Amino acid sequence: MTRLTAMAALLASTALISSCASDAGAPHAMAASAAANASATTPARVDNFMLVDANLEAHELYRMPDASAVVLITQSNGDKVIQAAAPTLKVLASTYGAKGVEFLLLNSNLKDSREAIQAEAQKAGFDMPILMDVNQLVGESLGVNRSAEAIVINPKTWTVAYRGPVSGAAAALDAMLAGKAIPAAAMASAGAMIVFPERGVTKASYAKDVAPILEAKCVACHQEGGIGPFAMKSYEMVKGFSPMIRETIRTDRMPPYNADPHVGKFSDDKNLSPAEIKTLVHWIEAGAPRGEGPDPLAVTRRVAAEWPLGKPDLVFNIPAFKVPASGVVDYQRPFTANTTTEGRWIRATTVKPGDRQAVHHILTGWMKDVPTGGATSSEMRWRGSVGGYAVGAESNVFSNEVGTYLPAGGAIGYQMHYTPYGKETVDSSQIGVYFRDTVPKYIMRSVVVIDPTIQIPANSARHTEVAYVEFPNDALLYSAFPHAHYRAYSNDLWLQTPDGKKTLLLSMPRYDFNWQRSYTFAQPIKIPAGSKLIAHYVYDNSKRNPSNPDPNREITWGEQSFEEMLFTSVSFRWLDETAAQQVDNDARFAKTRTLGMMDDNIDGKLQKSELRGQMGKMMGTFWARLDANKDGVLDQAELATAQALMGNRRRGSEANSDGPNENTPLGGN
């Protein structure tokens, strides 16, 4: 039997199943389906959306303009019609995927959890992504009523070219790819009914329901002088921007908090709740009616505070820098003298960029001595941070029991990353520091999960890199700050305990370079001694990535945004350390730092095949010398020898260079 003959047989069997199936309590499924479809209309144009699949990978419709077609197949757990169609879908995806057609399952059923969808996919044999339409907004707008329905979308116009049972999808695709008229569906889907209880129901009041959500979740940025592009200061302003608001919610660009709500709980969660999302979108889709009542947004004029935490106890003025209108600006490393005469404990910091458009990030570090003789600030000499900033970041506030220490005197070094934006400007950024009145009980520490040996192939749509840090002592994890550049697609953070158990702590299905922030866990997470914090980063170095400067280049680690990074900074405290009895934080991680960067298969040893980048090249040169026991791998003791060797080589070059090296966590926030 040929492949196409097999597909025809499968399609025929699916059609037979569809024509015979019925729902419990609905003996005439076809009649019920027709009645249901009559109550929901297919849109003339499919608006953009972004949904996360059951495996926590994001999919945005309008990032597929180069597809020859996009096929959405509605799915509901337990539906025998769609289960029986699984072999057909597999053949369809294989046959037409080779012709540039994208296939996605769409689950809009309120009763189906992520875990249940994963189990259903394994049981039924679905091998394509299942999008979780948890708020039903996509299913509502598409007029979905039943499972096992195929919706063929033309990416050239973003219109629906075919709608009907899966059995008719092949003929529709053949006609569409040949530029011919697409046959209409001969029958409706007989899959299980999917209930949309809020479709067509608009009960939101602007004054009582909509404005309070905007006040609580949006106005902090969308006010005069705020980071938002417009101020939500009246009903008229909100209505004018309502189409944009709807789109940014449907594509999950707003609010800019990219931690997936299915994983973990965070004390600084900025996400809208499902109820808030549906209230805003349904209100906008109903025409954003004014209704009765006062306008809460117009009662008080809101202006962004110069310092959101109030007047700082100390302000560091970063030396001004003229940013050119165009070109690439090398990292700047200025410094200022620390004029404090006594050491103080920090409870919070706020970075105020002088020009938000020009400042990509600011890193800081205290240095014992003020650089002299024209030297710049070198991160190699930093011994503690006094705050940091990246686009979209907020103030850094420690909990009551922990803090960081700023010694007296010395200097504060800065790593400044500027990005020209078409206009020459002068940046004069500041850092506000807030001190504690008392000594904290514990010290907030930080370490970076980093891999400066990453290599991302040209034209690769999904390339994964991994790195980890190993904790030699018990610790308590407070927050994580992921960072990468234009090609980053997604990332996560896992805890692997010594018994081998893995727990997903943070998932960002869609990394957004324009909004970088720390994610603070609602409750600190215990890290037993011997545990690893593992970060995976997925990169999209393809033409589908709208931010990609050049998909034809292989990308390696680099400071500039058109290069790449794998960098997750985590804040924690050691359980055996207090402010009165401190430990050497750097020394604790020293033995396993190199291994965590390069051990891609996380087996605790370094294979020669895992050597990459400048560091890997150096180690490869000395491999025979480093592999003392000649077993073909480097264990922890042998890597300690390698680290000492590389340290000696670095010390020999530091006198002439303040530049980065592979063991220095640069540019990460």
Predicted TM-score (pTM) of the model is: 0.89
> Would the pLDDT of 455 be above 70?
yes
pLDDT band, residue 647 (cuts 50/70/90)? low
Average pLDDT over all residues of the chain: 89
pLDDT at 52: 98
Which residue(s) pair with 332 in the sheet?
A: 416
Question: What's the confidence (pLDDT) of residue 549?
Answer: 95
Sheet strands (E) in 140-253: 149-154, 159-165
- In CATH, the number for domain 445-603 is 2.60.120.230
Cα gap 658→375, rounded to integer Å: 8
Give ranges for CATH 3.40.30.10 in the chain. 3-177
**CATH 2.60.120.230 residue ranges for the chain:** 314-440, 445-603
Mean local confidence (pLDDT), 339-362: 94
User: SS3 letters for 33-97?
Assistant: HHHHHHCCCCCCCCCCCEEEECCCCEEEHHHCCCCCEEEEEEECCCCHHHHHCHHHHHHHHHHHH
Q: Which CATH architecture has domain 314-440?
A: Sandwich (2.60)
> ∠234-242-259 over CA atoms, to 5°?
105
Rounded to an integer, what is the distance from CA 84 to the centroid of its chain?
35
Output the six-digit token pair for 367.
Answer: 């240095």
Higher pLDDT, 147 or 15: 147
pLDDT of res. 393: 82
- DSSP alpha helices (H): ranges in 160-210? 169-177
Classify residue 343 by burial, with Cβ atoms within 10 Å: 0-12, 13-18, 19+.
Answer: exposed
To which residue do tokens 């907020």 refer? 394
Alpha helix positions (H), 178-328: 211-217, 235-240, 242-250, 274-285, 296-299
Q: Regarding the domain delimited by 3-177, which CATH topology (the fold level of the hierarchy) does it fall under? A: Glutaredoxin (3.40.30)
Report which of 109, 140, 159, 134 is spatially closest to residue 39, judged by C-alpha positions.
Answer: 140
Distance CA 212, CA 494 (A): 36
- The pLDDT of residue 39: 44
CA distances from 394 to 219, 268, 509, 570 (A): 15, 11, 21, 16
* Structure-token pair, residue 535: 């970060």
pLDDT in tens, 502-554: 999 999 999 999 899 999 999 999 999 999 999 999 999 999 999 999 999 99
Confidence band for 661, pLDDT divided at 50, 70 and 90: very low
The pLDDT > 70 percentage for the chain reads 90
pLDDT of 370 > 90? The answer is yes
Q: With CA atoms as reference, report the closest residue to 267 among 479, 537, 546.
A: 479
- Look up residue 319 and give its DSSP letter: P
Q: What is the pLDDT of residues 258-271, one digit of tens each?
A: 999 999 999 989 99
* Residue 215 to residue 219: CA distance in whole angstroms: 5
296 upstream amide cis, omega within 30 of 0 = no
Half-sphere exposure of 377 (CA within 13 A, CB side): 27
* Amino acid 649: pLDDT: 52
**Among the ranges given (27-36, 193-202, 242-251, 294-303), the one the predictor scored with the smallest mean pLDDT:** 27-36
441 close to 542: Cβ distance less than 8 angstroms: no
Block residue for tokens 């959306």: 49
Residue 166 carries which DSSP code? G
Helix 169-177 and helix 86-97, axial crossing angle in degrees, nearest 10 = 10
**What value does the mean pLDDT take over residues 612-632?**
91
pLDDT tens figures, 412-450:
999 999 999 999 999 999 999 999 999 999 999 999 999
pLDDT in tens, 182-212: 988 878 889 999 999 999 887 899 999 999 9
Measured CA to CA, the distance from residue 23 to residue 14 in angstroms comes to: 16
Count of other CB atoms within 10 angstroms of residue 19? 14
Structure-block tokens of residue 523: 């409750």
Above 60 in pLDDT, residue 9? no
CB contact at 8 A, 23 and 193: yes
Average pLDDT over residues 216-234: 94
Query: 79: closest CA among 3, 145, 159, 164?
Result: 145
